[in-house]
Amino acid sequence: MIKDRAIKEMALRYTATRRWYPHMEVEVAPPARVAQRVSLVTDIDVLAVVPDPVLGTQSVLFDCKTKAAESGANRSLWLAGLMRHFGAEQAFCVLKKANIDSDHRQVAQELGVLLIPEDEFETFAKVSAASELTKNAAIASIDAWEKVADLKKRFPALGPLLGYRAGEFWRMRASHTGCRKVVANVLEARAEFDPVHVEHEVLFGDLVSMFGLSLATLVTSIFRIMLLPASGVDFEQAVRMKLYGGREAYEQQNRLFKLLKQSRHGDDFDDDLAPPEWSRFVKLLRQLLDDPNAVVRASLIIKESAFGLIAGDGEYLSVLAKNDGQAARFAILIADYFSRATRLPPEFGVRIEQRLLALA
């Protein structure tokens, strides 16, 4: 059972109103662990990815700890460390207290944290969003988030993939390797996906949207260094190097990849290391370079479409698509590549593309 449901739902409604991409209960663990088992440090109630017209994306954290005895100053110091860990630019901390000491608020503000009493949160959200908060967004449905979270109990074999979705992806989101790791993790778990279960379709759509977020980071980086590549070869080389952590790392991994494949298939194997459906991937990136800022918005459309399968499609999804034709087009392209690359049962790809095409 998700705790502090009302406050978390308010945070989700706020992110939906601002057209930010949300994720609930992100697991925080050391980025480079030493122990064999992952030791969770804490969790983030709601993390939002905010499109930025210049920098690409920013991260905003929501902390919904509503304990009456909680010190605002102590909580803001803790959040400041969490922001630094995740590279977040802003955090909102909602406290049970009706009155928060003004000095505590000042300290928090200097740390990039906004302390808000619980009974003021809705007013703050409406004023800062400059509108009434949306009520019909599927991504703001706590029940929908809870059903996805229950997948781990109902389908234990999906546990590793769900763990990746909850934690590692967000810890590595800023890394360009995220694009291939999302695909790799779904490929590894593809035998566990069954189109009979609507929750599996929701999970698949959510993973497509997360893949879109990782693409946004990659596309923005490429846009900054190679708006007009001299040749297709130069473009492909730059993409490979970014995906695998630089030229030295790529060349080392590529040598190992070839040695492994040659031991299995013979000396005639000479293909280079690359993500699945490499030519389609390169084509997709070229298309997304038409409008890098639309990639995050496309990810939000995909996520809303997925959650709508259990929360019900509302006006919010239609508004997102109608007001942003480029993002809606990108959503279809991203879903098409991901469906092919992960080789899941074809029903998953067909259904998600039908839902997205219906929005066009």
pLDDT tens column, 306-341: 999 998 877 899 999 998 999 999 999 999 999 999
Distance spanning both ends of the chain, measured CA to CA: 37
**pLDDT over 70 percentage in the chain:** 92
Cβ(47)–Cβ(86) below 8 Å: yes
112 and 199, same domain (yes or no): no
For the chain, the domain total comes to 2
Q: Do 345 and 213 sit in the same domain of this protein?
A: yes
Pairing of strands 56-63, 90-95: parallel
Tokens encoding 44: 């983030």
Mark which of 80, 111, 133 sits at the end of a domain.
133
Q: What is the mean pLDDT of the chain?
A: 87
Structure tokens at 158: 């999906």
Give me the mean pLDDT over the 269-283 stretch: 83
pLDDT surpasses 70 at 32:
no
Q: How far is CA 210 from CA 231, 300, 331, in A?
A: 29, 9, 12
Query: Are 125 and 8 contacting, i.e. CB atoms less than 8 angstroms apart?
Result: no
Range of the domain at 81: 5-133
What is the rounded CA–CA span in Å between residue 67 and residue 117?
Answer: 11
Mean pLDDT, rounded, for 178-199 = 92
Region 278-290 average pLDDT = 92
Angle at 161 between CA 160 and CA 166, to 5 degrees: 95
DSSP strand pairing (42-52 vs 21-28): antiparallel
Q: Are 208 and 334 in contact (CB under 8 A)?
A: yes
Cα 172 from Cα 190, distance rounded (Å):
22
**Mean pLDDT, rounded, for 14-22:** 95
Same domain? For 180 and 307 the reply is yes
Structure tokens at 138: 């599927």
Q: Are residues 298 and 207 in the same domain?
A: yes
pLDDT range class, residue 266, cuts 50, 70, 90:
low
* CATH number of the domain enclosing 101: 3.40.1350.10
Comparing 245 with 281, which gets the higher pLDDT? Answer: 281
Q: Please identify, among 112, 133, 154, the residue that sits at the C-terminal boundary of a domain.
A: 133
Domain stop point among 116, 133, 150? 133
**182 and 227: one domain?**
yes
Q: Outline where the chain has alpha helix (H).
A: 5-18, 72-86, 102-110, 121-129, 142-149, 151-154, 159-163, 169-171, 178-189, 198-225, 232-243, 247-265, 278-288, 294-311, 315-322, 325-342, 346-357
Give yes or no: residues 173 and 93 share one domain: no
Quickly state the pLDDT bin for 68 (edges 50, 70, 90): low
* 60, 299, 339, 353 alpha-carbon torsion, rounded to 10°: 150
Lowest pLDDT segment from 37-46, 123-132, 290-299:
37-46
Residue 70 has pLDDT above 80, yes or no: no
88 and 43 fall within a common domain: yes
Whether 89 and 232 map to the same domain: the answer is no
Exposure string for 218-246, b = 16+ CB within 10 A, e = fewer? bbbbbbeeeeebeeeeebbebbbbbbbee
Strand, helix or coil at 119? helix
